[in-house]
Amino acid sequence: MLRADAVRKSFGDHEVLRGISLDVHEGEVVCLIGASGSGKSTFLRCLNLLEQVDDGDIWFDGTEITDPRIDEDEIRRQIGIVFQAYNLFPHLSVEQNIVLGPMRSRGESRETARERARTLLERVGLGDRGSAYPDALSGGQQQRVALVRAIAMQPRLLLLDEITSALDPLLVGEVLDVIRDLRREGMTIVMATHEMSFAREVSDRIVFMADGQVVESGPPEQLFTAPRDPRTADFLARHR
Protein backbone atom coordinates (compact mmCIF):
# COMPACT_ATOMS: atom_id res chain seq x y z
CA MET A 1 0.00 0.00 0.00
CA LEU A 2 2.86 2.33 0.88
CA ARG A 3 6.43 2.32 -0.29
CA ALA A 4 9.08 4.83 0.65
CA ASP A 5 12.26 4.45 -1.31
CA ALA A 6 15.53 6.06 -0.18
CA VAL A 7 13.85 9.17 1.19
CA ARG A 8 16.18 12.05 2.04
CA LYS A 9 15.34 15.28 3.78
CA SER A 10 17.53 18.10 5.05
CA PHE A 11 16.80 21.20 7.07
CA GLY A 12 19.55 23.61 6.09
CA ASP A 13 22.74 21.60 6.15
CA HIS A 14 21.36 19.08 8.65
CA GLU A 15 20.38 15.90 6.85
CA VAL A 16 17.56 14.55 9.00
CA LEU A 17 16.50 11.62 6.79
CA ARG A 18 19.38 9.83 5.15
CA GLY A 19 17.82 7.36 2.78
CA ILE A 20 14.81 5.84 4.53
CA SER A 21 13.01 2.97 2.83
CA LEU A 22 9.87 1.35 4.12
CA ASP A 23 7.15 -0.93 2.75
CA VAL A 24 3.77 -1.13 4.42
CA HIS A 25 1.15 -3.66 3.40
CA GLU A 26 -2.58 -3.18 3.72
CA GLY A 27 -3.77 -3.99 7.24
CA GLU A 28 -0.28 -3.84 8.70
CA VAL A 29 0.65 -1.96 11.86
CA VAL A 30 4.21 -0.66 11.76
CA CYS A 31 5.84 1.07 14.71
CA LEU A 32 8.73 3.49 14.35
CA ILE A 33 10.94 3.62 17.40
CA GLY A 34 14.17 5.47 18.04
CA ALA A 35 15.71 8.22 20.11
CA SER A 36 14.33 11.72 20.03
CA GLY A 37 15.75 13.48 16.99
CA SER A 38 16.18 10.30 14.94
CA GLY A 39 13.75 11.57 12.30
CA LYS A 40 10.50 9.72 13.08
CA SER A 41 8.25 12.79 12.96
CA THR A 42 9.92 14.18 9.85
CA PHE A 43 9.46 10.84 8.11
CA LEU A 44 5.75 10.66 9.02
CA ARG A 45 5.31 14.24 7.81
CA CYS A 46 6.94 13.32 4.51
CA LEU A 47 4.53 10.38 4.12
CA ASN A 48 1.63 12.79 4.49
CA LEU A 49 3.25 15.38 2.19
CA LEU A 50 3.51 17.91 5.00
CA GLU A 51 7.22 17.99 4.20
CA GLN A 52 8.66 17.81 0.73
CA VAL A 53 11.32 15.16 0.30
CA ASP A 54 14.66 16.21 -1.19
CA ASP A 55 15.36 12.87 -2.80
CA GLY A 56 13.84 9.42 -3.09
CA ASP A 57 10.17 8.77 -3.67
CA ILE A 58 7.01 7.63 -1.97
CA TRP A 59 4.34 5.46 -3.52
CA PHE A 60 0.83 5.04 -2.19
CA ASP A 61 -1.55 2.58 -3.80
CA GLY A 62 0.49 2.47 -6.97
CA THR A 63 0.74 6.26 -7.34
CA GLU A 64 3.94 8.18 -6.85
CA ILE A 65 2.79 10.82 -4.38
CA THR A 66 6.13 12.64 -4.39
CA ASP A 67 5.43 13.52 -8.02
CA PRO A 68 5.08 17.34 -8.02
CA ARG A 69 1.92 17.09 -10.14
CA ILE A 70 0.07 15.14 -7.45
CA ASP A 71 -3.08 16.55 -5.81
CA GLU A 72 -1.81 16.81 -2.22
CA ASP A 73 -5.25 17.39 -0.73
CA GLU A 74 -6.53 14.21 -2.32
CA ILE A 75 -3.62 12.25 -0.81
CA ARG A 76 -4.19 13.80 2.61
CA ARG A 77 -7.82 12.72 2.47
CA GLN A 78 -6.58 9.17 2.21
CA ILE A 79 -3.66 9.37 4.63
CA GLY A 80 -4.76 10.62 8.04
CA ILE A 81 -2.35 11.90 10.65
CA VAL A 82 -2.68 12.52 14.38
CA PHE A 83 -0.03 14.40 16.32
CA GLN A 84 1.23 14.42 19.86
CA ALA A 85 -0.60 17.56 20.89
CA TYR A 86 -4.30 17.36 20.33
CA ASN A 87 -4.95 20.01 17.73
CA LEU A 88 -8.67 20.25 18.10
CA PHE A 89 -10.24 23.59 17.29
CA PRO A 90 -11.00 25.08 20.72
CA HIS A 91 -13.94 27.17 19.50
CA LEU A 92 -15.77 24.19 18.01
CA SER A 93 -17.59 21.44 19.84
CA VAL A 94 -16.34 17.87 19.65
CA GLU A 95 -18.91 17.01 17.01
CA GLN A 96 -18.18 20.15 14.97
CA ASN A 97 -14.48 19.30 15.06
CA ILE A 98 -15.24 15.88 13.64
CA VAL A 99 -17.73 16.79 10.90
CA LEU A 100 -15.67 19.68 9.50
CA GLY A 101 -13.30 17.59 7.37
CA PRO A 102 -15.87 15.17 5.93
CA MET A 103 -18.17 18.08 5.02
CA ARG A 104 -15.50 20.37 3.59
CA SER A 105 -13.24 18.00 1.77
CA ARG A 106 -15.41 14.95 1.17
CA GLY A 107 -18.54 16.90 0.38
CA GLU A 108 -20.66 14.99 2.88
CA SER A 109 -23.95 16.35 4.10
CA ARG A 110 -24.09 17.51 7.71
CA GLU A 111 -26.44 14.66 8.53
CA THR A 112 -24.19 11.95 7.10
CA ALA A 113 -21.13 13.43 8.76
CA ARG A 114 -22.94 13.78 12.07
CA GLU A 115 -24.20 10.27 12.01
CA ARG A 116 -20.72 8.87 11.51
CA ALA A 117 -19.30 11.22 14.15
CA ARG A 118 -21.82 9.92 16.67
CA THR A 119 -21.17 6.30 15.82
CA LEU A 120 -17.41 6.79 16.11
CA LEU A 121 -17.67 8.75 19.36
CA GLU A 122 -19.80 5.98 20.76
CA ARG A 123 -17.15 3.46 19.82
CA VAL A 124 -14.41 5.32 21.70
CA GLY A 125 -16.59 5.75 24.78
CA LEU A 126 -17.42 9.40 24.17
CA GLY A 127 -20.96 9.06 22.91
CA ASP A 128 -22.22 11.67 25.36
CA ARG A 129 -19.51 14.29 24.67
CA GLY A 130 -20.40 15.47 21.17
CA SER A 131 -21.58 18.88 22.27
CA ALA A 132 -18.73 19.47 24.74
CA TYR A 133 -15.89 21.84 23.92
CA PRO A 134 -12.32 20.47 23.85
CA ASP A 135 -11.19 22.29 26.99
CA ALA A 136 -13.88 20.50 28.99
CA LEU A 137 -12.28 17.15 28.12
CA SER A 138 -9.30 15.38 29.64
CA GLY A 139 -6.17 14.97 27.53
CA GLY A 140 -7.02 11.32 26.89
CA GLN A 141 -10.53 12.23 25.79
CA GLN A 142 -9.21 14.97 23.50
CA GLN A 143 -6.79 12.56 21.93
CA ARG A 144 -9.58 10.04 21.37
CA VAL A 145 -11.55 12.81 19.65
CA ALA A 146 -8.49 13.62 17.52
CA LEU A 147 -8.40 9.95 16.47
CA VAL A 148 -12.11 9.98 15.66
CA ARG A 149 -11.64 13.14 13.63
CA ALA A 150 -8.95 11.44 11.57
CA ILE A 151 -10.97 8.24 11.13
CA ALA A 152 -14.11 10.15 10.18
CA MET A 153 -12.31 11.02 6.94
CA GLN A 154 -12.23 7.28 6.22
CA PRO A 155 -8.51 7.26 5.46
CA ARG A 156 -6.88 4.20 3.97
CA LEU A 157 -3.76 4.76 6.05
CA LEU A 158 -3.35 6.32 9.47
CA LEU A 159 -0.15 7.95 10.70
CA LEU A 160 0.18 8.46 14.44
CA ASP A 161 2.99 10.55 15.86
CA GLU A 162 3.63 9.87 19.57
CA ILE A 163 -0.01 10.42 20.26
CA THR A 164 0.25 9.37 23.91
CA SER A 165 3.43 11.16 24.88
CA ALA A 166 1.78 14.36 26.14
CA LEU A 167 -0.71 12.43 28.25
CA ASP A 168 -0.89 11.77 31.93
CA PRO A 169 0.20 8.12 32.29
CA LEU A 170 -3.22 7.25 33.68
CA LEU A 171 -4.85 8.35 30.42
CA VAL A 172 -2.53 6.55 28.03
CA GLY A 173 -4.40 3.25 28.24
CA GLU A 174 -7.70 4.60 26.94
CA VAL A 175 -6.00 5.97 23.82
CA LEU A 176 -4.05 2.77 23.21
CA ASP A 177 -7.36 0.85 23.45
CA VAL A 178 -8.66 2.82 20.48
CA ILE A 179 -5.58 1.88 18.47
CA ARG A 180 -6.07 -1.77 19.40
CA ASP A 181 -9.64 -1.55 18.10
CA LEU A 182 -8.53 0.10 14.86
CA ARG A 183 -6.01 -2.63 14.32
CA ARG A 184 -8.64 -5.29 14.88
CA GLU A 185 -10.77 -3.62 12.24
CA GLY A 186 -7.92 -3.88 9.78
CA MET A 187 -6.75 -0.26 9.65
CA THR A 188 -3.29 0.19 8.20
CA ILE A 189 -1.22 2.19 10.69
CA VAL A 190 2.29 3.62 10.83
CA MET A 191 3.02 5.04 14.25
CA ALA A 192 5.92 6.58 16.07
CA THR A 193 5.80 5.66 19.72
CA HIS A 194 7.90 5.44 22.85
CA GLU A 195 5.47 3.00 24.43
CA MET A 196 7.68 -0.04 23.95
CA SER A 197 5.41 -2.65 25.49
CA PHE A 198 2.52 -1.38 23.39
CA ALA A 199 4.65 -1.37 20.25
CA ARG A 200 5.60 -4.93 20.98
CA GLU A 201 2.02 -5.99 21.53
CA VAL A 202 0.30 -4.21 18.67
CA SER A 203 2.69 -4.08 15.75
CA ASP A 204 3.33 -6.49 12.96
CA ARG A 205 6.69 -4.90 12.43
CA ILE A 206 9.00 -2.59 14.33
CA VAL A 207 11.37 -0.21 12.60
CA PHE A 208 14.25 1.10 14.67
CA MET A 209 15.61 4.43 13.43
CA ALA A 210 18.78 6.25 14.40
CA ASP A 211 20.27 9.39 12.88
CA GLY A 212 17.84 9.46 9.98
CA GLN A 213 18.36 5.88 8.93
CA VAL A 214 16.60 2.57 9.47
CA VAL A 215 19.04 0.56 11.57
CA GLU A 216 16.93 -2.57 11.53
CA SER A 217 13.35 -3.73 11.28
CA GLY A 218 11.54 -6.93 11.96
CA PRO A 219 8.70 -8.63 13.79
CA PRO A 220 8.47 -7.39 17.40
CA GLU A 221 9.49 -10.66 18.99
CA GLN A 222 12.64 -10.86 16.92
CA LEU A 223 13.58 -7.23 17.36
CA PHE A 224 12.94 -7.13 21.09
CA THR A 225 14.48 -10.46 22.00
CA ALA A 226 17.27 -10.77 19.45
CA PRO A 227 18.21 -7.40 17.97
CA ARG A 228 20.86 -7.74 15.31
CA ASP A 229 22.43 -4.32 15.64
CA PRO A 230 24.17 -3.21 18.85
CA ARG A 231 22.53 0.24 18.53
CA THR A 232 19.10 -1.42 18.67
CA ALA A 233 20.10 -3.48 21.69
CA ASP A 234 21.43 -0.38 23.42
CA PHE A 235 18.28 1.64 22.72
CA LEU A 236 16.01 -1.17 23.92
CA ALA A 237 18.06 -1.66 27.09
CA ARG A 238 17.51 1.99 27.93
CA HIS A 239 13.78 2.02 27.06
CA ARG A 240 12.28 -0.92 28.87
| Partner from ligand ADP, Mg ion, none contacting 178, C-beta within 5 to 8 A by type | none
CA distance 49 to 65: 8
State yes or no: residue 130 binds ligand ADP (CB under 6 A): no
The one among 4, 30, 40, 149 contacting ligand ADP by CB under 6 A: 40
State yes or no: residue 101 binds ligand ADP (CB under 6 A): no
8 Å CB contact between 120 and 98: yes
Give 108-141 as a 3 state SS string. CCHHHHHHHHHHHHHHCCCCCCCCCCHHHCCHHH
| Partner from Mg ion, ligand ADP, none contacting 16, C-beta within 5 to 8 A by type | ligand ADP
Pairing of strands 205-210, 29-33: parallel
The one among 2, 30, 33, 38 contacting ligand ADP by CB under 6 A: 38
Pairing of strands 205-210, 55-60: unpaired
The one among 22, 38, 41, 174 contacting Mg ion by CB under 5 A: 41
The one among 30, 42, 126, 232 contacting ligand ADP by CB under 6 A: 42
Q: Which single residue brings its beta carbon nearest to Mg ion?
A: 41
Chain residues that interact with ligand ADP, rule: CB under 6 A: 11, 16, 34, 36-42
